[in-house]
Amino acid sequence: MQPVLDVIQRIGPSDANVLITGENGTGKGVMARAIHAASAQAAKPLITVNMEAFQKVCSKARCRHVKGAFTDAKNRSCRKV
């Protein structure tokens, strides 16, 4: 556990973006709150995103891109849901 606490104290004060991954129940949320508490942003709210729910919303979108949206978007790419 000490190496994890050392990492939190080392990256907490930095301005780095952090992506915490791992299995369910491994304490990702606890680690995120600890990093936030050690940061200069501690007085501001911590915003968490449930990526599983985000993926479900995105997968329901019918069109992935529109012509001209990015360099290789040559036409409208839609799929049936």
According to the model, what pLDDT value does residue 50 have? 76
Residues 33 and 19 in one domain: yes
How many structural domains comprise the chain?
A: 2
Residues 32 and 55 in one domain: no
Structure tokens at 4: 């994890």
Residues 38 and 66 in one domain: no
Single-letter residue type at 75: N
Residues 54 and 77 in one domain: yes
Q: In this predicted model, what pLDDT tens digit does every residue of 2-28 receive, in sequence order?
A: 998 898 999 989 988 888 888 888 888
Single-letter residue type at 51: M
Least confident of 1-5, 42-46, 76-80: 76-80
Residues 1 and 28 in one domain: yes
According to the model, what pLDDT value does residue 81 have? 45
- Residue 61's domain comprises 50-81
Q: Is the pLDDT of residue 43 over 90?
A: yes
The strand pair at 77-78 and 63-65 is best described as antiparallel
Contact 30, 11 (CB under 8 A): no
The residue among 9, 20, 73, 6 whose CA lies nearest residue 51 is: 20
